Structures are given as structure tokens and as C-alpha cells.
């Protein structure tokens, strides 16, 4: 692992987390050096885009893809029933609302890392799309929304 990449990640996390001493005190210099000097084999392949998840990050997690004809929004919603979610669109953004219900109502949780309860997230649409040909599908915990992009053709203005 490269020490410079770790420093860059720590700086990014500091911007996300806000001010404070948490990221400065997470590693002392001796531990950082010994951790960085260990070589446990080949470096894992890196994804094209990495975004660390912070505790303040909105849920559900969303990816947005675009091509010449379509815009795709993929929201990660494991454990949410289709009946417990709603999607709305207003030509500039998509709002996803729902509720995550616990699976075991009559058991005491020992470890809970997932969040339960109502959620709402609004995602700004980065390109003009039309709602008429939109489609939403819920598959394996992923909500996949597809929009048709609006092609802008320059309209001629007649000069009088």
C-alpha cells in the first residue's frame, strides 16, 4: 500500500468528516510506518472510481451512468421490500423514499451495522431526460431506474 495514497485518502476523509483531530490521531507515525512497510503480496486491483463511505453519507448509495441515449440510476437498497419504496421525478431530480424494516422483530440485536427506519434521498439528474419513457426495476436489492435522454437540437430563431 502506498503511503501517499493513504495520506490522500486521509485528507479526503478529513474534508468529508469535518474538522477535528480524529484523522490526525488515528495512526501515530511509528504505527503508520510499520503498517506501510509490510508487503503482503501483490496489490489488489483498483476500481476506476473509489468513494469512501462516511457515516454522514446519505442512503441509499447511488451510482449514475450515462450513454448517448439513456441515463441510468442504480440505488443499493438491500432488505427493502418493493412495497416499502416510492420514486418520484421532477425533471431535475429523482427522490427515493422508503423504509428499511428489521428482519427479526422478536430477537435482540447483538451487532447492527445496517440502518433501519425511514429514508429519503434526492439525486440531481445531470442531463435532460424525459419521464414518459422512464422505467424502474427492482432486482436483487438494486433499484434500477432508466431514463431516455432528451436530445437538444438548436432551434432557429427567425429575425424580423
Q: In this model, does residue 82 exceed pLDDT 90?
A: yes
Looking at every residue in the chain, the average pLDDT score rounds to 77
Q: In this model, does residue 137 exceed pLDDT 70?
A: yes
Angle between helices 3-17 and 29-36 (to 10 degrees): 130
Q: Omega into 60 within 30° of 0, i.e. cis? A: yes
Residue 40: per-residue pLDDT: 45
Query: Cell numbers 507515525 label which residue?
Result: 29
CATH fold for the domain made of 61-149: Immunoglobulin-like (2.60.40)
- Classify 79 in phi/psi space as left (phi over 0), alpha (psi -120 to 50) or beta: left
Q: In this model, does residue 55 exceed pLDDT 60?
A: no
Domains of the chain, by residue range, sit at 3-36, 61-149
Predicted confidence (pLDDT) per residue in 11-28, tens digit = 777 666 655 555 455 554
Rounded to an integer, what distance in angstroms lies between the CA atom of residue 110 and that of residue 113? 10
Distance between the two ends of the chain, CA-based, in angstroms?
Answer: 67
Predicted confidence (pLDDT) per residue in 18-54, tens digit = 555 554 555 544 444 444 444 444 444 444 454 444 4
Residue partners of 126: CB distance under 8 A and separation at least 6: 64, 66, 71
Residue 37: per-residue pLDDT: 44
156 vs 48: which has the higher pLDDT: 156
Q: What percent of the chain has pLDDT over 90?
A: 36
Amino acid at each position: 500500500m502506498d503511503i501517499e495514497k493513504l495520506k490522500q485518502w486521509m485528507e479526503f476523509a478529513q474534508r468529508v468528516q469535518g474538522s477535528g483531530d480524529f484523522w490526525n490521531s488515528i495512526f501515530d507515525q511509528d504505527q503508520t510506518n510499520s503498517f506501510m512497510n509490510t508487503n503482503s503480496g501483490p496489490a489488489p486491483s483498483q476500481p476506476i472510481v473509489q468513494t469512501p463511505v462516511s457515516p454522514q453519507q446519505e442512503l441509499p448509495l447511488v451510482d449514475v451512468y450515462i450513454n448517448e441515449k439513456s441515463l441510468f440510476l442504480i440505488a443499493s437498497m438491500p432488505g427493502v421490500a418493493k412495497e416499502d419504496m416510492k420514486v418520484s421525478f421532477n425533471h431535475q431530480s429523482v427522490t427515493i423514499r422508503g423504509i428499511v424494516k428489521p428482519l427479526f422483530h422478536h430477537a435482540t440485536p447483538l451487532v447492527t451495522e445496517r440502518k433501519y427506519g425511514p429514508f429519503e434521498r434526492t439525486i440531481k439528474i445531470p442531463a435532460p431526460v424525459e419521464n414518459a419513457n422512464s422505467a424502474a426495476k427492482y432486482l436483487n436489492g438494486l433499484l434500477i431506474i432508466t431514463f431516455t435522454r432528451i436530445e437538444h437540437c438548436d432551434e432557429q430563431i427567425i429575425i424580423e
